[in-house]
Amino acid sequence: MLATARSDLPRGAGWLYEFKWDGIRALADVHDDTVRITTRNGNDVTVAYPELLALRTEFSDALLDGEIVAFADGRPSFESLQQRMNVHQDAPARALATTNPVAFIAFDLLRLYGVDLTGRELHERRETLQRLADGSDPADSSWSLSPAFDDPDAVSSAARAHELEGVVAKRADSRYHSGARSADWVKVKFIQRSEFVVIGWESASESATRLSSLVLGYFADGRLRVAGKVGSGLTNATARSLQKQLVTDLSPTELDLKASPGRVLTRVEPRTVVEVSYSQWSNDTDQARLRHPVFVGVRTDKDASEVGRD
């Protein structure tokens, strides 16, 4: 179940408010003494997070919805999480689990002991999660429960004070609809950061084989639109890695893509998703562009087709 983006939080009785964690949305499926971690686009990322295998010691059968979060100086850090996201082998994953551990922060419970809970109201599912959390030792537990509150102003103030990504409001009586984007869940971001699809890359004309910036896009009404370009924040290592995975010459030709002065443009298949911070959009038209964009990281947990304008 996905939240709908809004500029303000809904208010009134019947809403619960949670912090928006700066992590990767994931399902943790525990059964038959095994753990399987999948991202919201269905990718199995279990091998990347071996510390979460400890969930099998706390649940005999459960399906948890939540976020995988890395912390730096006590705050969620997407930059730290980036170091864990693209690990596909057991040995390096275990080494990173020691030096740069992640946590699983659960905010919903979809199955317990073989019983499907998605048809029950959110407050019932959370009450069950709370009982499970109360019965575990926080010092040894491999998961924690994302707290929920009934005061939107207090939650917003706390999120801003700790520089968290935002707040999610959820109707306490909402049922869970897998894969659906619902108005029963509403997200408000305090940090201007969004996902975009890479639709091209640029290089200096005198060295046309080296990526120096990315051309960004998003989907609106089933069509790709141009969001702008980003070069700031791209390290040489990230640029090289991206250049290897981008498939060239396959972006829609109807897109009005033009190279910056003195640069060479290469079109790519719109399938790689990246996260970018920015100050604002230049205007509200279809020709709007990002102002002061900074590359944050690659989002392997999201499909390009999901990327729209927040």
**pLDDT tens for each residue of 50-104:** 999 999 999 999 999 999 999 988 888 888 898 888 788 999 999 999 999 999 9
| Side chain identity at residue 16, one-letter code | L
Q: How far is CA 118 from CA 1, 178, 274, in A?
A: 10, 8, 31
Would you give the distance in Å from CA 217 to the centre of its chain? 17
* Residue 170 falls in the annotated catalytic set: no
| Whole-number Å distance between alpha carbons of 209 and 206 | 9
HSE (side-chain half, CA atoms, 13 Å) at 295 = 24
| Whole-number Å distance between alpha carbons of 76 and 43 | 22
The tens digit of pLDDT for each residue in 167-176 reads 999 999 999 9
Would you give the distance in Å from CA 15 to the centre of its chain? 23
3-state secondary structure of 129: helix
Give the residue among 45, 154, 37 at the shortest CA–CA distance from 89: 45
Catalytic choice (20, 170, 187, 229):
20
Q: What is the pTM of this model?
A: 0.78
pLDDT band at 310 (very low <50, low <70, confident <90, very high): confident
Give the residue among 56, 19, 11 at the shortest CA–CA distance from 37: 56
| Whole-number Å distance between alpha carbons of 297 and 272 | 11
